[in-house]
Each structure stands twice: as C-alpha cells, then as structure tokens.
Amino acid sequence: MSVKLLDPELDRLEGLWADGLSDAYRAYQEDVLHLDPDVQPKLALAAALVEVGIRLQGLGGRAAPPTVLLMGDLCLARGSRLLADHATLDVQLAFAEAIQLLSSAAAAAEAAPSTRQLLQKALAR
C-alpha cells in the first residue's frame, strides 16, 4: 500500500512514519488479509496508530512530555476513528478491551502483555 493512499490519515504524523509507524503498519498488514480488501490498509493503519499512540503516551512508565503526549493522543484518536468507520463492532470492542487491559496493567504496576499481540488478536475477530 502506498503512503500516498494513506496521506489523509497521516496528516501531521509524517515524522512518526519514519520513526516506527511504517514498521508497525507493515507488521499488521498480514493480520488483515482475511478482511475486505478495501478496509485492509485502513485497519492495519488503525492498529499501527493505536500501538504507536500507546507507546508515545508512555503507558506504565514516566509521564510523557506534553508534546509527545499530544502526538500519542492524536494517534489514538485517528486510530479510533478508522476503527469506528471501517471495523466491525467485534473488532472495535476487541481493541477497547486490549487498551483497557494495557491500562489496567499499567495502573497496577504489573507487566502488560505485548501491545502488538493484543491488537493482532483483536484484528482476528
């Protein structure tokens, strides 16, 4: 999938594309192959945005600086919008459950499962 096709979703996130968002996107492409081809790139990007957003927010660690925290918020908002527009309700709920699990583990200062594994499992629904 060309970056040009994803441009509207990457507005103001260009720096993140080179800083790991593109790698996360490529990692999720295999996990969406069972879905309608029209939504595959959008849901792979949604998962990548959620993963990067969680990382940027420093979930479970020290609070991120305000600008980084805002970029994380932007990633999560864009990922959520893509999910709301293109994913089934089951997939949307699976993403919410994954984020809740990660958040509760961070709040309890417990080891959290792999974000990528949780989101890959969510995409399989």
Is residue 28 assigned to a domain?
yes
* Collapsed DSSP state (helix, strand, coil) of residue 68: helix
Structure tokens at 16: 């993140």
Q: In terms of residue numbers, what domain contains 29? A: 7-123
> CA–CA separation, 72 vs 46, rounded Å?
13
**Mean pLDDT on 51-71:** 89
Structure tokens at 79: 């990922």
**Which of the four pLDDT bands, split at 50, 70 and 90, describes residue 15?**
confident
Is residue 38 assigned to a domain?
yes
Each residue of 81-105: pLDDT tens digit?
999 999 999 999 999 999 999 999 9
Is residue 2 assigned to a domain?
no
H or E element at residue 82 = helix 66-86
H or E element at residue 110 = none
Q: Is the pLDDT assigned to residue 2 strictly greater than 50?
A: no
Specify the number of domains making up the chain. 1
> CA–CA separation, 94 vs 120, rounded Å?
10
Is residue 1 assigned to a domain?
no
Is residue 117 assigned to a domain?
yes
